[in-house]
């Protein structure tokens, strides 16, 4: 299977559904804009199924708002044509709480959870039941070009503070870019900064969750955002961060492990190295975001979809996921494989970050929290006033109030 996966990654791979009888179940797999060859994986797992089912890939919209709206609309309508879903970890709690997801069968849940890093397992669990099979969970790391870190006076063998990173970038006249692929980059940044300062953006569940922005940790987070903007070393989280990093003024890039597979970085990829996420004080807590594989509650071919998940999360498939697209597999044993480590550009950094980083809070109202943080942290951030202003906005968002 390793050979088959590798061959499919570099060329066309035939599907066993070609010419197959029409009564073979077809698993419709809806995928987002990930940096992986989902069609090659689908073709390989179709071949592995040996006529039991075929997998057909359906591409979801690139825009996160459009993607979320489409899925919610169709799942609310109990659309049975979606059999398998690459589910953003940020939406798992929301979709599970709405009854959109079929729990992972008991016989599959234990092996699916075995060896999974705790943040990925928590992100795939709702009401103590596994509702998605963890697949990959990318931590953000600090990418830099050539000897930029050394010239900036940064010791990459030790935690690098935000103060030192910003000061080093200023001295060199280079930027510190921050990746934002789906519009939630600012809220993920704030969430990680608050966690790095020893706090929590949200604690608890549902409408009564406690917001932790108007706190010492919230003020520490705001002081870093304020420092960053006042230094003029970058625009903050942006969709074109990779392209800007590859440009003449690019020096540092805070982005996922899979960012190195971005075509926008092709010209500088060979010159890129990674180190740990910048520290708040002495602690660097990286934002974590990824994808789990889930089956909608109303899927036509539920059993076949769970069988497809077993293939897509098998060791050979995870190896290709890591060595090809440079996603960080949720199963640690994949990262420990010597064959994987040599081809995974950020292996050592990723392994540490994926166990110590922070996912977004498990709330059904995350999209509303994102809007509230965007309104209050996007500009004119001040460590004394921003947390105070932002706290009631986020509280209103999770209560469903309009302000």
**Domain count for the chain:** 2
CATH (domain of 199): 3.40.190.10
111 shares its domain with 9: yes
Residue 186 and residue 236 in contact, taking contact as beta carbons nearer than 8 Å = yes
The domain containing residue 176 runs over which residues? 140-288+361-399
Q: ∠ CA(29), CA(32), CA(37), 5° rounding? A: 75
Q: Is the per-residue pLDDT at 341 higher than 90? A: no
Question: Mean pLDDT over residues 374-395, rounded?
Answer: 96
User: For residue 168, what pLDDT is reported?
Assistant: 98
Q: Alpha-carbon Rg of the chain, whole angstroms?
A: 21
User: For residue 5, what pLDDT is reported?
Assistant: 42
Q: What is the DSSP letter of 19?
A: T
pLDDT in tens, 120-177: 999 999 999 999 999 999 999 999 999 999 999 999 999 999 999 999 999 999 999 9
213 shares its domain with 325: no
First to last CA, the chain: 54
Question: Mean pLDDT over residues 60-79, rounded?
Answer: 93
- What integer best gives the mean pLDDT of the chain? 92
User: For residue 3, what pLDDT is reported?
Assistant: 42
245 shares its domain with 351: no
Q: Is the per-residue pLDDT at 16 higher than 90? A: no
pLDDT band at 285 (very low <50, low <70, confident <90, very high): very high
Residue 19 and residue 47 in contact, taking contact as beta carbons nearer than 8 Å = no
Cα–Cα distance for residue pair 121/330, rounded to 1 Å:
8
pLDDT over 90 for what percent of the chain? 87
37 shares its domain with 103: yes
269 shares its domain with 297: no
pLDDT in tens, 20-35: 446 899 999 999 988 8
Looking at 323, 340, 356, the residue that finishes a domain is: 356
Q: pTM, whole model, 2 decimals? A: 0.91
Using CA atoms, how far residue 158 sits from 198, 284, 400, in Å, is 20, 11, 43
222 shares its domain with 264: yes
103 shares its domain with 45: yes
Residue 302 and residue 235 in contact, taking contact as beta carbons nearer than 8 Å = no
pLDDT band at 282 (very low <50, low <70, confident <90, very high): confident
263 shares its domain with 312: no
> What are the tokens at 156?
């990459």
pLDDT band at 361 (very low <50, low <70, confident <90, very high): very high
Q: Is the per-residue pLDDT at 311 higher than 80? A: yes
Q: ∠ CA(165), CA(197), CA(230), 5° rounding? A: 40
pLDDT band at 11 (very low <50, low <70, confident <90, very high): very low
User: For residue 14, what pLDDT is reported?
Assistant: 39
pLDDT band at 363 (very low <50, low <70, confident <90, very high): very high
Q: Is the per-residue pLDDT at 6 higher than 50? A: no
pLDDT band at 270 (very low <50, low <70, confident <90, very high): very high
260 shares its domain with 189: yes
38 shares its domain with 89: yes
User: For residue 403, what pLDDT is reported?
Assistant: 59
210 shares its domain with 340: no
Cα–Cα distance for residue pair 358/120, rounded to 1 Å:
10
318 shares its domain with 374: no
User: For residue 64, what pLDDT is reported?
Assistant: 86
pLDDT in tens, 229-256: 999 999 999 999 999 999 999 999 999 9
pLDDT in tens, 179-231: 998 889 999 999 999 999 999 999 998 888 999 999 999 999 999 999 999 99
Residue 403: exposed, middle, or buried by beta-carbon count in 10 A (0-12, 13-18, 19+)? Answer: exposed
Question: Mean pLDDT over residues 367-385, rounded?
Answer: 95
pLDDT in tens, 85-123: 999 999 999 999 999 999 999 999 999 999 999 999 999
């Amino acid at each position: 299977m390793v050979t088959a996966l590798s061959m499919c990654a570099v060329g066309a791979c035939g599907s066993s559904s070609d010419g197959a009888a029409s009564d073979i179940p077809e698993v419709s797999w809806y995928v987002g804009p990930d940096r992986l060859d989902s069609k090659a994986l689908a073709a390989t797992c179709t071949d592995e199924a040996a006529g039991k089912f075929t997998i057909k890939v359906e591409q979801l919209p690139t825009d996160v708002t459009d993607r979320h709206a489409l899925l919610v609309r169709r799942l609310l309508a109990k659309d049975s044509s979606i059999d398998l879903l690459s589910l953003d970890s940020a939406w798992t709690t929301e979709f599970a709480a709405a009854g959109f997801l079929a729990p992972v069968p008991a016989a599959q849940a234990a092996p699916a959870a075995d060896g999974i890093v705790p943040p990925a397992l928590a992100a795939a669990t709702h009401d103590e039941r596994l509702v998605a099979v963890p697949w990959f969970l990318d931590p953000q790391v600090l990418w830099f070009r050539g000897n930029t870190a050394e010239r900036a006076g940064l010791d990459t063998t030790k935690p690098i503070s935000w103060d030192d990173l910003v000061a080093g970038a200023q001295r060199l006249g280079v930027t510190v870019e921050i990746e934002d692929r789906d519009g939630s980059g600012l809220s993920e940044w704030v969430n990680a900064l608050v966690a790095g300062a020893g706090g929590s953006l949200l604690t608890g569940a549902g409408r009564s969750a406690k917001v932790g922005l108007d706190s010492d940790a919230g003020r520490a987070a705001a002081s870093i955002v304020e420092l960053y903007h006042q230094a003029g070393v970058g625009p903050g989280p942006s969709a074109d961060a990779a392209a800007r990093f590859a440009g003449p003024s690019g020096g540092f890039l805070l982005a996922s492990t899979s960012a190195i597979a971005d075509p926008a970085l092709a010209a500088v990829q060979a010159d890129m190295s990674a180190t740990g996420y910048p520290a708040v004080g002495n602690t660097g807590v990286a934002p974590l975001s990824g994808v789990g594989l889930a089956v909608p509650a109303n899927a036509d071919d539920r059993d076949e979809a769970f069988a497809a998940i077993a293939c897509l999360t098998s060791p050979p498939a995870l190896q290709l996921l890591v060595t090809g697209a440079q996603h960080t597999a949720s199963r640690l044993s994949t990262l420990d494989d010597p064959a994987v480590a040599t081809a995974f550009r950020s292996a050592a950094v990723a392994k540490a970050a994926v166990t110590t980083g922070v996912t977004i809070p498990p709330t059904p109202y995350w999209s509303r929290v994102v809007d509230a943080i965007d309104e209050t942290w996007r500009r004119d951030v001040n460590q004394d006033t921003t947390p105070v202003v932002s706290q009631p906005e986020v509280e209103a968002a999770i209560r469903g109030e309009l302000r």
